[in-house]
Homo-oligomer: A and B are copies of this chain.
């Protein structure tokens, strides 16, 4: 999006002119290929140039205004999608460019995929065409007021009535109320409801049903349906996360999604051929969180990096103008590892996408053998990446000083958009522990490395454990083999510690389940260490298998190393376990860290420019490409609703009486 002659503050111009990077090549790396870059560049202007999609006033809106605005944008999106005949990839890019939460989004990301993944061909034929034409809008109602990640605890029930060949859906308790589903409150006409299937008094566990919520005539809730919004949240003002109570409402038998489990007319229950086959939608969504986490952090770090170059604060030792904040080592230490993390998460997202696509196509052919690995990998990475992104975004906000707290910085909005990913679609702690069970199983089975997937091969019984790190100079930390080996060693040791506590628990007489419980904190550590290794490995693989050349390649190698050594200094105690690293070696890692900060500092601005976020979608006074920060902060504030009058109404209402010592009207 760079243009040669456009206005730019001197600070940013200097950085860009001094750069030796080929930015468009880096952008292609970030996008995952030239074809994707092209589609993105073709799609974005269609959003940016459309006034309906403007975000210029979005930070001034009340929550209710946001909802109105988001609905308008949703309908406009659907209209444009048809007019422009966008393919699925372009549609996704189009929504990315809109940047805001659309109440229609769950229809496309959850409702339709669930129909596709769990519906029979007949069900798909009936419902998919209605859904794809937007004649109905669907939500996905799983989470309840009292039940989240633990699916088997759901209380909503669907009782089969063979006499009428209908299911009776009911919310028997207050805590059974469906709670949180996006678009459920006021948008959706239909929803998938996850309920425990009861046949002849037997509980068959959670299954999915299609339920109509509102009249297609006038949008009023149907009899027996109580539906509405769950009230204001931290963010997502434009989304109508909703609640749903059902009072013994009846739906025909063919509205249970029956691709896997089936209920025959007489009430005979047919189990799915493969257990867990229906987990597909959830796994897909988790993969999606991994895939997008990097983009969120990239947005925030683009803002903080540009602003830190423009912002001057503190006395220069040479007597010139004040110091650019980015020239402080402490600021580099805050932001440059986050630039590295953004690239690492984007690379991990690409790895996750490939893995998902491959295993998905296996599943389509009826081969479910890789599902456990996909499940374990996506669970841990969802937890690791969503936390890394959210925490990184908050650090970017802090790195902007006071102005980071203004909505004009754009970062609070990014944070509240990404933060829920830490709890939705599986709470992070629970997901880490799912990965931990997989790690425990692999480690305890003592398989040879040939029997293990690449990312977990270090858990093999024949994997040789280096007793001591061989590092003797800071320079050696630039070697990918050295770093990756260190991360493997750490992860293996953390797994071993957790296994030992688990096994000791059992030996001391605890039940299997209590022994597991008593080792869960250690398992979180192990799972985190494993995921950290997978992310570093994915980052190196992406760089090594890329077409990057020259300075670009050298800089990305430096970013990989920065990501690696930063982690060593942050988790030094874990790397020192069993004496694998000495404190002298950690000190060398720290030396290398500071050296890499200087290297990466020089290209910090081009590195975030390569993420290629147009100003309109970044929506940040601090993160502007031209760096004209203060003018735009000032202009933005002038437009704030509170400044409509020079003397605010609160003066007449309240202040005047107090100041003039007449009786205040309250």
* CB contact list, A180-233 vs B, under 8 A: 180, 185-187, 189, 214, 216, 218-221, 228-233
Task: Indicate with 1 or 0, residue by residue over A119-159, a CB within 8 angstroms of chain B CB atoms.
Answer: 00000000000000111110000010111111011000000
Task: Indicate with 1 or 0, residue by residue over A386-401, a CB within 8 angstroms of chain B CB atoms.
Answer: 0000000010001001
A517 at the interface (CB under 8 A from B): yes
Tell whether, in the assembled complex, residue A232 and residue B517 are in contact, meaning their CB atoms are under 8 Å apart. Answer: no
Tell whether, in the assembled complex, residue A232 and residue B68 are in contact, meaning their CB atoms are under 8 Å apart. Answer: no
Task: Indicate with 1 or 0, residue by residue over A372-408, a CB within 8 angstroms of chain B CB atoms.
Answer: 0000000000000000000000100010011011111
Contact of A658 among B75, B394, B402 (CB under 8 A): B75
Distance A636 CA – B636 CA, assembled complex (angstroms) = 34
- Which residues of chain B have C-beta atoms less than 8 A from A649's C-beta? 68
A363 at the interface (CB under 8 A from B): no
Residue on B nearest A68 in the bound complex, by CB:
B650
Tell whether, in the assembled complex, residue B412 and residue A234 are in contact, meaning their CB atoms are under 8 Å apart. Answer: yes
Distance A429 CA – B630 CA, assembled complex (angstroms) = 23
A651 at the interface (CB under 8 A from B): yes
A472 at the interface (CB under 8 A from B): no
Tell whether, in the assembled complex, residue A153 and residue B407 are in contact, meaning their CB atoms are under 8 Å apart. Answer: no
Task: Indicate with 1 or 0, residue by residue over A305-318, a CB within 8 angstroms of chain B CB atoms.
Answer: 00000011111010
Stretch at the interface among A279-287, A537-545, A569-577: A569-577
A105 at the interface (CB under 8 A from B): no
Known: A68-B649, A228-B643. A76 touches B401 (CB 8 A): no
Tell whether, in the assembled complex, residue B420 and residue A402 are in contact, meaning their CB atoms are under 8 Å apart. Answer: yes
Task: Indicate with 1 or 0, residue by residue over A423-436, a CB within 8 angstroms of chain B CB atoms.
Answer: 11001110001000
* CB contact list, A314-363 vs B, under 8 A: 314-315, 317, 322, 328-331, 333-334
Contact of A583 among B76, B579, B658 (CB under 8 A): B579
Residue on B nearest A332 in the bound complex, by CB:
B521
Residue on B nearest A65 in the bound complex, by CB:
B62
Kindly provide the distance from the CB of A421 to the nearest chain B CB, expressed in whole angstroms. 11
Number of interface residues of A (CB under 8 A): 139
A653 at the interface (CB under 8 A from B): yes
Tell whether, in the assembled complex, residue B136 and residue A637 are in contact, meaning their CB atoms are under 8 Å apart. Answer: no
Kindly provide the distance from the CB of A313 to the nearest chain B CB, expressed in whole angstroms. 5
A71 at the interface (CB under 8 A from B): yes
Known: A228-B637, A518-B329. A219 touches B62 (CB 8 A): no
Tell whether, in the assembled complex, residue A72 and residue B571 are in contact, meaning their CB atoms are under 8 Å apart. Answer: no
Residue on B nearest A174 in the bound complex, by CB:
B630
Task: Indicate with 1 or 0, residue by residue over A287-314, a CB within 8 angstroms of chain B CB atoms.
Answer: 0000000000000000000000001111
Tell whether, in the assembled complex, residue B633 and residue A145 are in contact, meaning their CB atoms are under 8 Å apart. Answer: yes
Kindly provide the distance from the CB of A631 to the nearest chain B CB, expressed in whole angstroms. 7
Kindly provide the distance from the CB of A394 to the nearest chain B CB, expressed in whole angstroms. 7
Tell whether, in the assembled complex, residue A219 and residue B656 are in contact, meaning their CB atoms are under 8 Å apart. Answer: yes
- The count of identical subunits is 2
Distance A506 CA – B547 CA, assembled complex (angstroms) = 43
Kindly provide the distance from the CB of A193 to the nearest chain B CB, expressed in whole angstroms. 18
Distance A228 CA – B579 CA, assembled complex (angstroms) = 60
- Which residues of chain B have C-beta atoms less than 8 A from A424's C-beta? 402
Known: A68-B653, A148-B402. A638 touches B314 (CB 8 A): no
Contact of A405 among B423, B572, B590 (CB under 8 A): B423
Distance A133 CA – B433 CA, assembled complex (angstroms) = 60
Can you name 22 A-B pairs with beta carbons within 8 Å? A67-B650, A71-B653, A76-B666, A137-B659, A143-B402, A146-B312, A148-B401, A153-B312, A175-B630, A186-B642, A219-B647, A228-B638, A229-B640, A230-B637, A231-B637, A232-B406, A243-B637, A330-B520, A402-B420, A522-B590, A572-B576, A579-B583
- Pairs A-B, 6 closest by C-beta atoms: A572-B573, A62-B62, A573-B573, A231-B640, A317-B513, A229-B642
Given known contacts A62-B63, A149-B313, A330-B433, what 18 new A-B pairs fall within 8 Å (CB)? A75-B658, A133-B661, A137-B655, A150-B322, A152-B315, A153-B322, A174-B630, A179-B633, A180-B402, A185-B642, A186-B648, A189-B659, A228-B646, A231-B406, A240-B648, A329-B521, A405-B423, A577-B586
Residue ranges of A at the interface with B (Cβ–Cβ < 8 Å): 52, 59-60, 62-64, 67-68, 71-72, 74-76, 78-79, 133-137, 143, 145-150, 152-153, 174-175, 177, 179-180, 185-187, 189, 214, 216, 218-221, 228-235, 240, 243, 311-315, 317, 322, 328-331, 333-334, 394, 398, 401-402, 404-408, 412, 419-420, 422-424, 427-429, 433, 497, 511, 513-514, 517-518, 520-522, 524, 569, 571-579, 583, 586-587, 590, 594, 630-631, 633-634, 636-643, 646-651, 653-659, 661, 664, 666
